[in-house]
Amino acid sequence: MELENIAESLRRSLSGDPWHGPSIGALLADIRPGDAIAHPVAGAHSIIELVLHLAAWTQEVGSRLRGNPPALPAIGDWPPCAGDAGPAWDSAQRTLHEAHADLLQLVRRLPAGRLSDRIGELRDPALGTGVTVAAMLAGLAEHNAYHGGQIAILNRALAARRANGAS
């Protein structure tokens, strides 16, 4: 049952109806490529940077579930956004959705006994090690909610910018 709840929390965080507000997918649904690469808040990441970061850590959690040692994501903690806005935005969203779909398949096939396995020996919050598989998966859902909140704030800043006549 715990494994089903974790899988459902992860699913809702990207494409469902989480209790805290819109899912990542709902937040991204109407974002235009130009808005995705914009930096409406000084010092903050852009929406596309956040999406690539979410994808990177989703891929890394999948790698750990496959038995690989914990590391920084293969594509980097904050992968660079490259190329024209439209194709880059499409690619970033596709990467996130593919990583998420892959992760959900892995979680649904995971033996319940693995939930208490430890990821790494030492506790390193930045790397997400020294916790159980269950805590890592719950942490990924929390990570999605955290960055989803940032995306929501950036969306509001972009809407305010448009309302004030800026493009």
- Give the pLDDT of the chain (167 residues) as one tens digit per residue: 688 999 999 999 999 888 888 999 999 998 999 999 999 999 999 999 999 999 999 999 999 999 999 999 999 999 998 888 999 999 999 999 999 999 999 999 999 999 999 999 999 999 999 999 999 999 999 999 999 999 999 999 998 988 887 65
pTM: 0.94
Assigned CATH class of 2-163: mainly alpha
Per-residue model confidence (pLDDT) at position 1: 66
Q: Which residues pair with 131 in a beta bridge?
A: 119
H-run or E-run covering 132: strand 129-132
Q: Tell me the β-bridge partners of 129.
A: 124
The tokens describing 37, both together, are 């690469």
State the distance between the two ends of the chain, measured CA to CA, in whole angstroms.
48
What CA–CA distance (Å, rounded) separates 114 from 131? 12
Structure tokens at 110: 């995971």
Q: State the CB neighbour count (10 A cutoff) for residue 59.
A: 21
CA 109 to chain centre: 21
Sequence letter at residue 33: P
